[in-house]
Amino acid sequence: MNKEELIYILKKHHLRPKRENGQNFLVNPQTVEKLINAAELKPDDIVLEIGAGLGTVTSALCQKVKKVIACEIDQDFLPVLHNLAMANKNLEIVNNDIFKIDFSKVGNAHARSLQEGHFKIVSSLPYNITSLFFRNFLEHGPRPKLISVIIQKEVAERIVAKPGQMSLLALSVQLFGEPQIIRIIPKSDFYPKPDVESAILQVKVGNAYTRSVPAHARSVPDIDLKSFFQLLRIGFAAKRKKLSSNLENGLKIEKKIITEGFKKLNLSENCRAQELSLEQWVWIFDYTKKFML
């Protein structure tokens, strides 16, 4: 769907984009194709789309996979989406907040596959839910096999950061999979134009973590996620302070214990939270978890 076609549909249905809801619609078919290609779709795939809007991405997905579950919270778009569903029997429209959906009650015969993580997410995400989206689906689940989303360029760059520029968001995503930026998207690819540039981000999600395997084969650590994220929040509590000071204050343990631990892990006592890799954070967690009980 190009810009002229989208404007025509908006006028026909007496609709307007709602900036307060982060509604900026893709109007470049090539970008839609890139987004879908990044999902590495197969004919038997089940896809969850968040923020279906007028169905620009939705209609393309329906031609590629076995089942598309398109979530759209704005009721004004439902007539357009229901018309699309009538033409595509593999499409299910869900009018609900994505964070309030009971995945045991959507997907019809595919509900169990959703709950068990046998699905992919393809979406041009509303930018105001990006952090919550990753936290919800990666930390809490159901956790998909692969994510292909359009998000704000600056956020995508934070997610794929390397040690030296790490953040809580970067670690939260990299803990569960391998993120990479597929393409930078100019403002002109949307209507109306957003205030920022965007990017297609792909995240290949794993299942069980081992430090001995390369990054591309990484999966989720066999650790207490709640405690691990508690440690990360303590470590990033004051970015300008030394990590050792943050841990000493946040964990309420003696400085000499932190110093001894850093020596064992071959870490500088002057290092900052953003300088460490995911693997180093897992090592610190292994050493400090007894103090978090």
Reply yes or no: is the peptide bond before residue 144 cis, omega within 30 of 0.
no
Q: What does the pLDDT read at residue 292?
A: 75
Q: What does the pLDDT read at residue 38?
A: 98
Q: How far apart are CA 201 and CA 125, in angstroms?
A: 11
Q: How far apart are CA 25 and CA 52, in angstroms?
A: 10
In this structure, are 213 and 232 located in the same domain? no
Rounded mean pLDDT for each run of 10 residues along the chain, 293 residues in total? 89 85 88 98 97 95 97 95 96 95 89 91 94 93 95 97 96 95 96 94 73 42 84 92 94 91 93 95 91 72
Asked if residues 292 and 230 have their Cβ atoms less than 8 Å apart, the reply is yes
In this structure, are 208 and 186 located in the same domain? yes
- Say which residues have a Cβ less than 8 Å from residue 30's Cβ, sequence separation at least 6: none
Q: What does the pLDDT read at residue 30?
A: 97
In this structure, are 181 and 90 located in the same domain? yes
pTM of the model: 0.90
Q: How far apart are CA 67 and CA 108, in angstroms?
A: 10
In this structure, are 36 and 62 located in the same domain? yes
What's the total number of domains in the chain? 2
Q: What is the per-residue DSSP string for 136-154?
A: IIIIISPPPSEEEEEEEHH
CATH classification at residue 33? 3.40.50.150
In this structure, are 77 and 208 located in the same domain? yes
In this structure, are 229 and 212 located in the same domain? no
In this structure, are 205 and 270 located in the same domain? no
